[in-house]
Structure 1
Amino acid sequence: MVFTRATQPPTAPVPGVPTSPDATDASRQDDGRRRGARYFRRLAGTDIDEALAFFTGDYDFRAPRVRRTHTQQHWDFAGVGDARMSLRSSRLLVDLQTESLVDDEFLVAWMRSGTSTITFQGREHALEPGVPVVLPFAEAYALHHRDIGLNLVHLDRDFVRSVVGEDDFAFEPMRRPTAEGLRAWQSVVRAHSGTWLDVEHDLTPIVQRSIAESFVAAAVQAFPRRDRWRSSVTGSGPEHDRLRRALEYVHAHAREPIGTTEIAEAAGLSPRGLQQSLRRHLDQTPGDLLRSVRLDGARVDLLRADRDVTNVAEIARAWGFGHLGRFSATYRARFGELPSESLRTR
């Protein structure tokens, strides 16, 4: 996946566009965000100190360390965005190590060239060319870029949460999408990036918002959500690890006809051991856990569905709820509204 049009990395400064960040350029970008219009920014240069100052503004680089990899250093950036979303492309031809932290946007990144390793919570993740991941959100992580060419989609945190309908929604960082999710993400990039990046043509507010919502929907489909259960399982012993494996399995396979036997096998526990572990740490049974995860999944689908092409019964069945009346009652007890009310709010 490669962005084209406006975000194709320039090899020289663009006439009429500043080659380093300044107040005029920042003001133009802020004005565009306030109006809801798309803003366009394109920069290029050889001064790496300027590059670090520019990227630190968006990614909060902390004590960056740079090593030269070429006789002639080079960096460039291009991006088109509004208050909800931006599509960006950047290149930095140096060896860069730094910490970073972003807490107001969700960042989907994929590498075009070079190498990049993200270290998060003690684990190293090597980016793969063309494979998108969601970078860590609201937690510091270390990055090591070498001669990196990178595409990014920035999605405003509050906009994503409003579309999803959850005030604390977040993605699970550094997890590869499934094959189906990758296809959904690539489809949206192919379908809409050219239109979004064509800054010579205005988009109506409806079209502009629709494109941003399409990217959010594809991201939700492609990338795992960061669920609250992760913080509820504390500790580092063998039992905690097995319980996390059980929860991982449930969240990955909740749409499938699974039960206690399959969950226990995935966790390396006996069915009785699974029941005891869940009761001890989460005060739940395997059935409670599976039902809760399925309800959460159904709610996400209801909130983002088009009520003209789907209905509550279809979504309920997709998540393993065969009795619509019981599903509606359980859903209302959990979320304070009927499934039909969630579907109508979009």
Structure 2
Amino acid sequence: MVGSRRCDVVRSTFSTPDVERALASLASAYGTRIQVTRPAVGGGHYRYERRAVGPLALDSITFPVDASYDVEPVGPLMVLEVVSGAMRVECDSVSSSSAVGAVMAPAQPDVPFHSHLDRLRTRVAVIEPALLREVAGLDREESRTPLRLLRLHASAEPTHAAVWRSATRYVWDLFGAEGAAGTPLVLDAAARMLAGAALTVFPNTFTAHDPLSRGPGHVGAATIRRAVAYIDAHAHGPVSLSDIASAAGVSARALQYGFRRRHGTSPMGYLRRVRLERAHRELQEADPAGGETVAMIAARWGWGKPGNFSVVYRRTYGVSPSTTLRDDGGATTAPS
């Protein structure tokens, strides 16, 4: 995962009836400074809970007052879901309001903004630009360009908002779970999934490539072989597109183009195939009497939801993973 190969979930909570302490806690969490521009009206307990893995944090915040604030620039991309109450934001001379159910990116990364919170309860995804760059498949030259949203403050379309809410609830629950579901591959995949959703929901400079820019160029068979060898050797741990491209010696976009031409899938799609094959092999070799389960093996190879794993497995091998585990899978082989 970007910035760190550690995939431990870091969890923290904080609660206080003191508005000043609440603001100090929030400013510390986001690495910024917050200044009150209109005194708070109302009262109650402020509550903040964070669940974070590497470059992704999910925050649940209850701010039970009506007040206005100036916020200094925050580096990561923030995507906010209004659970209750309301929020108004002004950034880059653009103002917008969000009501219950809205999903929005309240501010450009690295740009100060003004916010008015009215008894807000919200869930916020805080995504580091480095993770977004990797998921977008930017090469080194492109990654120098800062992330900018193309439609600042625009709330996500209803369909996109529903997908975002479902995705964040899944990741929130996953980051709060104990046991097999919290394997490094599952956590890494969840973080990348949410970063990809953010790039899809909010048009941005990382994914809006210039149609007149030079194409990715030719990628030879030797380059693809290097990429395949890297995937095969590292499939057991978190792997990013930029990791594979670096090992192959080409840009991420060039690798994706060449890989699709030769293998009919993306590098990350090939990685999923390899992990499915490894899971299949483990199911064949596992002894269910020894305590191994489908869920444990699926999680070890990146599937946080056993039901999703079962669908993909049955489609590929023609039987359920539980059948392979129970019968030792002697005759189940992937179709050629």
TM range (shorter): 0.5 to 0.7
For 1:65, which of 20, 37, 47 is the aligned residue?
Answer: 37
Q: Is the 8 A contact 1:171 1:223 kept in 2?
A: no
Q: Offset at 1:79?
A: 1.3
- Deviation track 1:268-324 (CA, whole Å, cap 9, x = no partner) reads xxxxxxxxxxxxxxxxxxxxx7x349x89xxxxxxxxxx9xxxxxxxxxxxxxxxxx
Kindly indicate whether residue 121 of structure 2 is the aligned counterpart of residue 149 of structure 1. Answer: yes
1:90 pairs with 2:61: yes
Q: In the alignment, what sits opposite 2:90?
A: 119
Q: What letter corresponds to residue 37 of structure 2 in structure 1? A: R
Match of 1:52 among 9, 12, 23: 23
Deviation at 1:183, TM superposition (A): 3.8
Q: Which residue of 2 aligns with 1:195?
A: 174
Instruction: Map 1:221-240; keep pairs closer than 5 Å.
Output: 221-226=200-205
| Letter of the 2:33 counterpart | F
Residue 10 of structure 2: aligned partner: 39
C-alpha spacing 1:125/1:199, structure 2 compared with 1 (3 Å): farther
Work out whether residues 161 and 169 of structure 1, in 8 Å CA contact, stay in contact via their aligned partners in 2: no
Contact kept? 1:61, 1:98, Cα under 8 Å: no
Asked if 1 retains the 8 angstrom alpha-carbon contact of 2:56 and 2:127, the reply is yes
After TM superposition, the structure 1 stretch with the greater mean CA deviation from structure 2, 124-133 or 199-208, is 199-208
Secondary structure class of the residue paired with 1:212: helix
**Is 1:140 the equivalent of 2:112?**
yes
- The corresponding residue for 2:76 is 105
Shift of 1:337: 6.1
C-alpha separation between the residues in 1 aligned to 2:175 and 2:29?
Answer: 21
- SS, match of residue 182 in structure 2: coil
1:81 maps onto 2:58 in alignment: no
Residues 1-346 of structure 1: matches in 2 within 5 Å?
35-59=6-30, 60-70=32-42, 72-136=43-107, 137-166=109-138, 167=143, 168=145, 170-172=147-149, 173-198=152-177, 203-226=182-205, 291-292=211-212, 339-341=257-259, 344-346=266-268
CA contact (8 A) 1:48 1:73 kept: no
The aligned amino acid for 1:153 is: A
Quote the Cα distance in structure 1 between the aligned partners of 2:86 and 2:77: 21
- The TM-score with structure 1 as length reference comes to 0.55
CA distance in 2: counterparts of 1:111 and 1:133, whole angstroms = 9
> Displacement of 1:180 after TM fit?
4.0
Q: Judging changes above 3 Å, is the alpha-carbon distance between structure 1 residues 187 and 90 closer, same or farther for their aligned structure 2 residues?
A: closer
Q: Judging changes above 3 Å, is the alpha-carbon distance between structure 1 residues 201 and 68 closer, same or farther for their aligned structure 2 residues?
A: farther
Is the contact between residue 75 and residue 91 of structure 1 (CA under 8 Å) also seen in structure 2?
A: yes
CA distance in 1, matches of 2:212, 2:259: 19
Question: 1:74 Cα deviation (Å)?
Answer: 2.4
Tell me which amino acid in the other structure corresponds to 1:184.
Answer: V
Letter in 2 for 1:114: G
Partners of 2:206 and 2:53 lie apart in 1 by: 28
Cα pair distance change 1:162/1:169, threshold 3 Å: farther
Aligned length: 220
Moved more, 53-62 or 86-95: 53-62
CA gap 1:226/1:98 in 2 versus in 1, 3 angstroms? farther
Alpha-carbon shift at residue 65 of structure 1 (Å): 3.2
Which residue identity lines up with residue 12 of structure 2 in the other structure?
R
Letter in 2 for 1:215: L
Q: Report the residue type matching 1:65 in the other structure.
A: T
Q: Is the 8 A contact 2:7 2:188 kept in 1?
A: no
CA distance in 2, matches of 1:111, 1:123: 19
Give, in whole Å, the separation in 2 of the partners of 1:144 and 1:79: 22
Q: Does the 8 A contact of 1:134 with 1:171 survive in 2?
A: no
Tell me the C-alpha RMSD between the 2 structures: 3.5
Identify which of structures 1 and 2 has the higher relative contact order when contacts are C-alpha pairs closer than 8 Å and 6+ apart: 2
Any stretches of 5+ residues in structure 1 without a counterpart? 1-32, 229-250, 255-288, 297-306, 308-331
**1:102/1:37 Cα in 2 relative to 1: closer, same or farther (>3 Å)?**
farther
SS in 2 for 1:125: strand
Please state how far the C-alpha of 1:192 moved relative to its aligned partner.
Answer: 3.3
1: CA distance, partners of 2:17 / 2:256:
58
Structure 2: gaps spanning 5 or more residues? 217-227, 229-249, 269-336
Q: Could you tell me how far 1:42 is from its partner in structure 2?
A: 1.0
Are 2:40 and 2:68, in contact at CA under 8 Å, matched by a contact in 1? no
Q: 1:43 to 1:66 in 2, by over 3 A?
A: farther
